[in-house]
Amino acid sequence: MIWISLAGCWNGSANSMPVSEPSKQHRCVLAVALCLLLVACEPPPAEPIRFYAFGTIIEITLPAVSANQKAAVEPELIAAFQHWQQHWHPWQAGGTKNLAAVNRSLKSHNRAELDPEIKALIDAARPYYQESDGLFDPAIGGLVKLWGFNQDKLQDTPPTPAALSGWLNARPRYSDLRIDNDRLISDNAGLQLDFGAFAKGYALEQVATLLKNNHIESALINAGGDLIALGRTRPDADARAWHIGIRHPRKAGVLAELELKDGEALVTSGDYERYFIHDRKRYHHILDPRSGRPADRSIAVSVIHTDAARADAAATALFVAGPGHWRAMAEQLQIKTAMLIDSEGHIHLTDTMQERLQFKSDPAAGIETTP
């Protein structure tokens, strides 16, 4: 019926109708309105690619790819993460060219043959060790192991004072490592590598490159809460920037929200990620290489930068630097957009971060802290 009636728009038959009948223009308006009504629903957001790697959930949202393109790139993404997980894990058994093999060889011979990928990882982290004055130091693998943060199931007591003193006396540093013709040489017998404060950011950078090489310009890559954004949420003119919530460090919900722009990474280091409570004190996984103990003047640091690897290393270094020194450390690491929440619950912001964040409550009031 309606098709016959509306057909008058196109065949001009309305001209012959009596004046009480709808005019040609009216019919066109009706047709357009009905079409708009029927197509008004926004297409559902693309279903992200999800899998498990690096001990966390990886979620990659690709809003502007066809089903075929997604099917083609998904195995490549999963394979890349699985490879990195196997290659960069510091302790797992097996393998001869991975980081675990390097650690075993360093422990027994103070030297190790280097696979090109591990060499690239070691080289990539070195500038951040230097710029952070050693507050970000991947050479603390032995310390991480002493505290048990290398295991899925955490221990419930701190290491003994004697064990901590032993590590501090040896005090391995990244600067104790030399590379000589694809051979890694350690000048410190206690040196073990752990890139836990760097690997996810480094991987995010590589995934972004992988997607760009596949001509994918819009994506949100989420590696256990660490993020990098490409493009916007949609390829068309209605696209908006990626809308991100930053988790409240002490209770359920979001502390603040912001829009993440094309090419930006947002990385947060928090004392709530891996920790245990002993005698009502929280012992978390972000260790201060100077004391050998968890850095206790910060509870969370968030960093935005266009280089996810730098953001990841910097989040750790700023956390360890604490509220008294984090601004100077941010400058050293070329970080302009950052937030630190100190152990008293006070929120510290760089000017550019203050401009970007929308808080759920007045940031000047700080947050309540509990152990």
Site for other proteins, rule CB under 8 A: 1-2, 5-6, 19-23, 26, 30, 34, 37-38, 41-42, 44-45, 48, 50, 52, 55-57, 59, 61, 152-154, 156, 220, 222, 224-227, 233, 242-247, 251-254, 257, 266-268, 270, 272-277, 302
Token pair of 270 as six digits = 């928090």
Residues 191 and 176: their CA atoms lie apart, in Å, by 8
What DSSP line would sit under 149-188, residue for residue?
TTSSS--SSPPPHHHHHHHHHH---GGGEEEETTEEEES-
Instruction: Please state the closest distance from residue 105 (CB atom) to other proteins, in A.
Output: 30
CA 313 to chain centre: 11
Residues 154 and 276: their CA atoms lie apart, in Å, by 7
Q: How far apart are the first and last CA of the chain?
A: 71
Q: Which residues have CB under 8 Å from 299's CB, separation 6+?
A: 249, 250, 270, 271, 272, 341, 342, 343, 345, 369
Residue 281 is inside which H or E element, if any? Answer: strand 281-284
Q: H/E/C letters for each residue in 23-45?
A: CHHHHHHHHHHHHHHHHCCCCCC
Alpha helices in 61-109 (DSSP H): 67-88, 99-109
Residue 250 or residue 289: which is nearer to other proteins going by CB? 250
Token pair of 202 as six digits = 């480094």
Instruction: Please state the closest distance from residue 126 (CB atom) to other proteins, in A.
Output: 27
Instruction: Please state the closest distance from residue 285 (CB atom) to other proteins, in A.
Output: 11
Instruction: Please state the closest distance from residue 247 (CB atom) to other proteins, in A.
Output: 4
Instruction: Please state the closest distance from residue 89 (CB atom) to other proteins, in A.
Output: 15
- For residue 364, give the amino acid letter: A
Residue 186 or residue 268: which is nearer to other proteins going by CB? 268
Instruction: Please state the closest distance from residue 116 (CB atom) to other proteins, in A.
Output: 31
Partnered with residue 57 across adjacent β-strands are 52
Residue 116 or residue 253: which is nearer to other proteins going by CB? 253
2: left (phi over 0), alpha (psi -120 to 50) or beta: alpha
Triad 110, 115, 119: Cα angle to 5°: 75
